Chains A and B, each alone.
Chain A
Amino acid sequence: MLLQQILNGLTAGSVYALIALGYTMIYGILGLINFAQGELYMAGAFATVLLLSIYQVNFFVAFLFGMGVAAVLGVILERLAFRPLRGSHPLVPLISAIGASIFLQSLALLLFGPADRSFPIQFEFAALEIAGVSVSALQVAIFGTALFFMALLVAFVKYTKFGKAIMATALDQDTARLMGINVDRMIALTFFIGSALSGAAGIMMAIYYNATYPRMGLLPGLKAFSAAVLGGVGNIPGAIVGGLLLGVAENLGAGYLSSGYKDAVAFAILIIVLLVRPKGLLGGRSH
């Protein structure tokens, strides 16, 4: 029972971690909470589901397409809603992000209707036995995919020129610009990567819960933000640890306390972290 809850928690947590990475990277580089992150998650899921239900394409093609749509949408968002506001009072881009979030959410509601859409492809996943606990192969696949993306991101930031440029921009924009880094392009790239990861998270959750709907991004977005705060905002390993911990805590809370208030766990954790250790478990960037 306990192990079962922990494994369920790790599955959900790995998805939260993917979204939290987007929050953390964008926060690190712009000092902005991108409220629309949950909507990019939704957009990724919708793009994949729609493509799969209209054309008979390969699942992996559709997956990449969904990530691509989310990424491009993220870049467009940055260009239209955030770039013109750079340098203004921090409140202003925050409200703009809220506007973008509500715009995308209600646009999806208008275009696709409020009903749940099931995932067009049925997967046959065997139930595995691991240490006496039954785990569906789907959970293992989600967890594995999420870990793969996280590893990819960490490697990208650490070992590539672009990744280093992003880090430099997050540390000090003016100096980065002096070193010949195109700051605008790095910010756009950050949005591209963060949004693609959120899109991937959305697609995986659309398969896991077999439901895609316009408001699907609201709660995961909120929880992922809590995860980012838990690990330390602006800290990439922190987002991963925070996401996994939050997923486990949430499932334990639902299993042992009350399932009706499952969604409240993340929020309670957020408040406690802000009270006790506002810079998060692994320490956020100096803000």
Chain B
Amino acid sequence: MTEYLLHITIISGLYIILTLSLNLIIGYCGQVSLGHAAFYGLGAYTSALLTIHWQVPFFLALPTAAVIAALFGLGLGIPTLRLKDDYLAIVTLGFGVIVDLILLNLELTGGPDGLARIPPPRLAGIDFRNKVYYLLLVAAVVAFTLGLIYRLVHSCHGRALKAIRDHEITARVMGINASAYKISIFTLAAGLAGLAGSLYAHYITFINPESFGLHTSILVLTMVVLGGMGSILGSVVGAGVLTILPELFRRFADYQDVAYGAMLIALLIWRPQGLLGSGKISQKFSLSKNRAKKER
């Protein structure tokens, strides 16, 4: 039972990192990424391949995974985020499909069978196969992510981001380079997802493309919306709730995706600020819809 509780806590920890990073994109860039699971997967595969094939120690593979995922984020962000429209959602959706295709077709990644026997981390005699130690490791990374995002959001850069999200044109007039900000945040978020992916791979020690598909991206998106777009604490709560609830309702596993879809719409209509959000994003513009559209 303790093992089980530890397992749930570790998994929630991973989802907290993912949710926080996606919330950066949604809550602070005003964009949606539907390929977040792809970055998560890139991190997992990078880290697993490095440790299996090149015997790279875990604590080096972890940051490498983050960097690789971030680089992909940068490559994807540059063409899409320079533009005003919400192309990011569909481009990242396509990116998710492509990553899935590549993971399935490439020999290096083991195709649909994935990679097995990923070595668990080891450091100075501590065996991280013990779930307590692994939980501590995950907790450390969660704390790092929380600290990073908290500092970022409360710095002048965070204020710039909020300005961009709330009114991009005004922000630009104030001399804020909106596209550079958006691209950097997207890159950072992709890197954080890669971090979570690496932690996942070395915890489960077996990965295949199934864990990194659209389903996971939607799940993380639902966590963000449930917790509240733009709310850091909300992301933690949203990730926790949606990791624990499915465990309690195992019998209804088939209905999960239907429930997530319905939940997204229902939340946006009746409680757009989520559980803990301040409601900044969800505020209706006082301008008529047409004006708001033009000003985007």
A-side residues, CB < 8 A to B, are 31, 33, 35, 80-81, 84-92, 94-96, 98-107, 109-110, 172-174, 218-219, 222, 225-226, 229, 233, 260-261, 263-264, 266-267, 270-271, 274-275, 278, 287
Interchain nearest-CB distance for B282 vs A (Å): 6
Q: Report how far A128 CA is from B283 CA in the complex, Å.
A: 59
Interchain nearest-CB distance for B289 vs A (Å): 5
- In the assembled complex, 11 residue pairs joining A and B whose CB atoms fall closer than 8 Å, in A order, are A31-B296, A91-B30, A91-B32, A98-B264, A103-B258, A105-B257, A218-B214, A229-B87, A264-B98, A264-B101, A266-B94
In the complex with contacts A99-B265, A110-B258, A274-B285 CB distance below 8 A: no
Chain A proximity mask over B256-274: 1 for CB below 8 Å, otherwise 0: 1110111111001100100
Residue contact A102 to B80, C-beta cutoff 8 Å: no
Residue contact A90 to B86, C-beta cutoff 8 Å: yes
Interchain nearest-CB distance for A85 vs B (Å): 6
Residue contact A94 to B86, C-beta cutoff 8 Å: yes
Interface size grouping (class) on chain B = 35 or more
B-side residues, CB < 8 A to A, are 26, 30-32, 34, 79-80, 83-87, 89-91, 93-95, 97-98, 101, 105, 214, 218, 221, 225, 229, 254-258, 260-265, 268-269, 272, 281-285, 288-290, 292-293, 296
Pick from B80, B89, B254: contact of A35, CB under 8 Å: B89
Interchain nearest-CB distance for A1 vs B (Å): 24
Pick from A98, A260, A267, A271: contact of B105, CB under 8 Å: A260
Q: Report how far A173 CA is from B290 CA in the complex, Å.
A: 6
Pick from A33, A88, A109, A261: contact of B282, CB under 8 Å: A88
Residue contact A33 to B86, C-beta cutoff 8 Å: yes
Q: Report how far A174 CA is from B97 CA in the complex, Å.
A: 39
Interface on chain B toward A: helix, strand, loop, or mixed SS?
helix
In the complex with contacts A270-B91, A278-B83, A99-B285 CB distance below 8 A: no
Q: Report how far A90 CA is from B290 CA in the complex, Å.
A: 11
Residue contact A222 to B97, C-beta cutoff 8 Å: yes
Q: Report how far A94 CA is from B265 CA in the complex, Å.
A: 10
Interchain nearest-CB distance for B274 vs A (Å): 11
In the complex with contacts A99-B264, A106-B257, A275-B79 CB distance below 8 A: yes
Residue contact B218 to A102, C-beta cutoff 8 Å: yes
Identity of the chain B residue whose Cβ is nearest the Cβ of A228 in the assembled complex: B90
B-side contacts of A98, CB under 8 Å: 32, 34, 89, 218, 221, 264
Query: Which of A106, A266, A278 has the most CB atoms of chain B within a 10 A radius of its CB?
Result: A106
Q: Report how far A116 CA is from B142 CA in the complex, Å.
A: 42
Residue contact B272 to A92, C-beta cutoff 8 Å: yes
B-side contacts of A172, CB under 8 Å: 290
